[in-house]
Structures are given as structure tokens and as C-alpha cells.
Amino acid sequence: MQSRFRNDRQLTVRMTVTLFLLGLLYVAFVAALIVLLKSWVLVVVIAAGVLIAQYWFSDRIALYAMHGRIVEREEHPQLHGVVDRLCAVADMPKPLVAVSDIDMPNAFATGRNADHAVLCVTTGLLRRLEPDELEGVLAHELSHVAHKDVAVITVASFLGVLAGLMVRFAFYSQLFGGRGNKDQNTAAVFLAVMTVSAAVYAISFMLIRALSRYRELAADRAAALLTGRPSALASALTKVTGDIGRIPTKDLRTAQAFNAFYFTPALGAQPGIANLFSTHPSLEQRLEQLARISAELGEAAVPDTSTPTPGEAL
């Protein structure tokens, strides 16, 4: 079913190209591993198992990792009410609604399609945002579901996960394979697996992050146009980014593995070249885009500050 979120052809093209390139990389990776490990059964079983787990159980994995739980309307009526209104306006199925009991202000959507999606917000986000700001964030997350880029990111990240698993498998096989097996041939195969896996991980890492940065801008655009209030989304972005920057790094480490799915990354400001490896565009880029949309819609000006003061997030 087609939702009322505005189509983004550039996003569709980028997702298609990314999946095509990763598909080619995947085929070459599996072929190389079969040659190196001399066991196509082992490679296929591992590859198929990881892909199935990521595609079918990505929502459960993400919720478990972030201590999220499905909540009913009686427990969070305001949250359900906002999701109901947005889904009605967007003409899309309502996802399951979940809450993560952590202070980091954030939200994410996951699931393989619109009929099997989960929208999760943290208690830290619910506590900090005004109703119109919360609506903007939830519209942003719902647009990810409507554009199907949540499923694409899930599948796209599969290759990097597989490469990482193969590095670990090769390492432990070499470490515990028995002294008699540690000859020159075994060492050569071990080095080859490590090299191929590292190269595949690096390439998939860059492709996924390039796609992720664009899809966040696309979700901002779609949410702003659906709600008609770009300034509310800009306010939420400024507030959430400022508050995340004040959360101790040790409390963000678990969350950082899921940055590609979050409304904003679980990181502080990343200046300079670090932005090239980020899953999200800079706050400045996002606010500039929302300001342009606000001008087009004739709305009041979007806040132009990208460095919130300590009092702004309260």
C-alpha cells in the first residue's frame, strides 16, 4: 500500500544502487570464502543463518539490545494518540509501539516492512519533548518505514556483520585449531580470510553510511511536509542533539551499535573528517534543509542555532 509520505526518487535510486553493489560484493565475498575455506556448506549455512536472523528478527534484536518493550494504549495514551493521527494522515498501517526505559533521548523504527514494523521511543525523549516536537520525530521515523529504507539498511548491514563473523571464526579456528594444523598453509588461509573479510567490511561500511546520511535527510523532508511544521522537527533535533552531547560516553556505548537506526546518533558533535564516517548528516545540514522547507511553506523561521545552550533542552 502506498502511503501519503512524499516519494523520494533519489532515495529509491540510492537504495537500489547500494543493494546492487552490496549484492555484487556479497557474491564475490562468498565465492572467495568457499575457495579459501574449501567448504561451501559451512559458508552458505553461516551466510544464510545471519541473513535470516537479521531480516526476520531485526525488530526483536533491536528492542532487546535497547531494553525496549511493546506498550499498549492504556499505558501510553498520548504516544499512541500521536502515532494514530500520523498513520491516519499518512494512510499507512500502524506499527507496534514500544518504549525503552533509558534516559538517552532518541527514537528508532525497525522491521522488515510496514506490516511488521516497530516504532520505539525512549523515556528520555518522551520526558524532554513538547507534543508538536514529538510528532515531528515520530513522523520522521514513520517515513523510514513508508520509504522501506529501514528494511534496506537492515539487509545492507548484513554483509558487514557476516564479514565480522568470518574474521572471528577464522581467528578462533587458528587459535584453537590444534598445534598440528598451524602450518604455513593454514596460516596463509587465515591471513587471506582476514584480509578479504576486512576489505568487505570496509567497503560495506562506507556504502551503508553514505546511504544512511541521505535517508536521514529524506526522512526529515518527508516528516516536515507531512506535518506542515518543519520548525517543530528542527526544535526537536536541536534539543535532542544537545542533550545527547551531555550524556556520559559510557552510557552511549551500547546504543552506538544501532546509530544507523536512530533519529540522531548516540554521539557528541563530530567535527571535520569524522562526518564522512557518520551515519547521520550534521545538525547544521538538517536545520538548513528544514529552514528551506519552512520558507516554502510560509512557516515561522526554523531556529538556526546548531549549538544548544545548557538551558535549551530543559
The residues spanned by each domain of the chain are 9-176+184-230
Q: What percent of the chain has pLDDT over 70?
A: 77
Q: What integer best gives the mean pLDDT of the chain? A: 80
Find the range with the poorest average confidence among 9-18, 77-86, 128-137, 304-313: 304-313
Average pLDDT over residues 147-157: 82
Residue 140 is labelled as binding a ligand: yes
Q: Is the pLDDT of residue 213 over 70?
A: yes
Higher pLDDT, 157 or 218: 218
Residue 144 is labelled as binding a ligand: yes
Find the range with the poorest average confidence among 11-25, 129-143, 239-253: 239-253
Which of 106, 140, 137, 135 lies closest to 123 in space, CA to CA?
106
Residue 104 in contact with residue 126, Cβ under 8 Å? Answer: no
Q: Is the pLDDT of residue 308 over 50?
A: no
The sign of the torsion formed by the CA atoms of 10, 109, 205, 287 equals: positive
CA separation for the pair 292, 138 (Å, rounded): 21
- How sure is the predictor about 307, in pLDDT bands with cuts at 50, 70 and 90? very low
Q: Is the pLDDT of residue 253 over 70?
A: no
pLDDT at 174: 55
Per-residue CA distances from 283 to 149, 164, 230, 261 (Å): 21, 30, 14, 16
- How sure is the predictor about 184, in pLDDT bands with cuts at 50, 70 and 90? low
Q: Interior CA angle at 119 toward 116 and 121, to 5°?
A: 160
Gyration radius of the chain's alpha carbons: 21
Q: Is the pLDDT of residue 29 over 70?
A: yes
CA separation for the pair 28, 47 (Å, rounded): 13
Average pLDDT over residues 99-123: 90
Question: Catalytic residue at 141?
Answer: yes
Options 141, 296, 299, 312, the catalytic residue: 141
Q: Which of 26-30, 53-57, 140-144 has the highest mean pLDDT?
A: 140-144
Higher pLDDT, 9 or 252: 9
pLDDT at 305: 46
Residue 216 is labelled as binding a ligand: yes
Residue 229 in contact with residue 103, Cβ under 8 Å? Answer: no
The CATH fold assigned to 9-176+184-230 is Zincin-like (3.30.2010)
